[in-house]
């Protein structure tokens, strides 16, 4: 895959599905992605972490048979792994995207206040995503080399649901995607 291929593929995905609602929230898929990436940039995250924030929900845009009308692709965190690899995204970007639902399951298990702060839609999907982690899963997650980044990504994901937020457009990330996929 050429670097232009990765940029074009990301743009094509958002062109096709970016204006869809982000399930149960008052933002579109594109707004959600751009807000998450902007949160990452404002937090001075490195390039791979910004890309993971931008792309964390591409599994919804890729579609699947494992789809639910109101909450989208159930395993959207894992179903996009092949696509990300094929388009040249690094193992770290892949690990961050594919772990973003695990981070939610971890936080529900370890932070009593966290569940209360989740949006209604995010609470509904939790059960389908496996619910709170077990003690063993918690221990495994804490030994994940991407543990801290996954928790940061999760917080940006949750902040990226503001219908009034102003962001850069997808064009802003072209060079970043191209540079990364060409590394």
- Please select the residue that binds Fe ion; options are 48, 57, 77, 102, rule is CB under 5 A: 57
Q: What are the residues facing 67 on neighbouring strands?
A: 73
Q: How far is the CB of 9 from Fe ion (least distance, A)?
A: 19
Q: How far is the CB of 84 from Fe ion (least distance, A)?
A: 15
For Fe ion, give the closer residue by CB, 3 or 149.
Answer: 149
DSSP structure class, residue 150 = H
Task: Report the residue number whose CB is nearest to Fe ion.
Answer: 157
Q: How far is CA 2 from CA 9, 95, 177, in A?
A: 10, 22, 11
Residues in 144-183 at the binding interface with Fe ion, rule: CB under 5 A: 157
For Fe ion, give the closer residue by CB, 3 or 13.
Answer: 13
DSSP structure class, residue 134 = P
For Fe ion, give the closer residue by CB, 57 or 102.
Answer: 57
Instruction: Using DSSP, state whether 53 is helix, strand or coil.
Output: helix
Q: How far is the CB of 156 from Fe ion (least distance, A)?
A: 9
Residue 25 makes contact with Fe ion by CB under 5 A? no
Where residue 133 falls (left for φ over 0; alpha for ψ -120 to 50; beta otherwise) is beta
Q: Which stretch binds Fe ion (CB under 5 A): 40-48, 51-59, 147-155, 162-170?
A: 51-59
Positive/negative CA dihedral, 67, 98, 134, 32 = negative
Q: How far is the CB of 160 from Fe ion (least distance, A)?
A: 7
For Fe ion, give the closer residue by CB, 57 or 149.
Answer: 57
Of 109, 110, 161, 111, give the one whose Cα is nearest residue 130.
109
Report the length, in residues, of the chain: 183
Q: Which stretch binds Fe ion (CB under 5 A): 8-16, 53-61, 88-96, 129-137?
A: 53-61
Q: Which stretch binds Fe ion (CB under 5 A): 55-63, 80-88, 136-144, 169-177?
A: 55-63
Helix axes 47-55, 91-98, angle to 10 degrees: 40
């Amino acid at each position: 895959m050429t670097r232009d291929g990765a940029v074009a593929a990301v743009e094509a995905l958002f062109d096709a599905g970016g204006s869809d609602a982000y399930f149960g929230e008052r933002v579109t898929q594109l707004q959600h992605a751009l807000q998450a990436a902007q949160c990452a940039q404002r937090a001075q995250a490195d390039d791979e972490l910004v890309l993971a924030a931008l792309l964390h929900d591409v599994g919804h845009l890729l579609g699947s048979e494992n789809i639910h009308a109101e909450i989208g692709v159930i395993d959207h965190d894992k179903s996009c792994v092949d696509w990300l690899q094929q388009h040249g995204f690094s193992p770290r970007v892949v690990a961050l995207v594919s772990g973003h639902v695990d981070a939610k399951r971890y936080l529900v298990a370890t932070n009593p206040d966290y569940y209360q702060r989740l949006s209604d839609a995010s609470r509904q999907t939790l059960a389908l995503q496996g619910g709170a982690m077990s003690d063993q899963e918690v221990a495994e997650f804490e030994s994940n080399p991407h543990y801290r980044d996954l928790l940061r990504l999760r917080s940006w994901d949750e902040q990226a649901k503001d219908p009034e937020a102003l962001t850069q457009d997808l064009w802003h990330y072209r060079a970043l995607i191209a540079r990364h996929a060409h590394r």
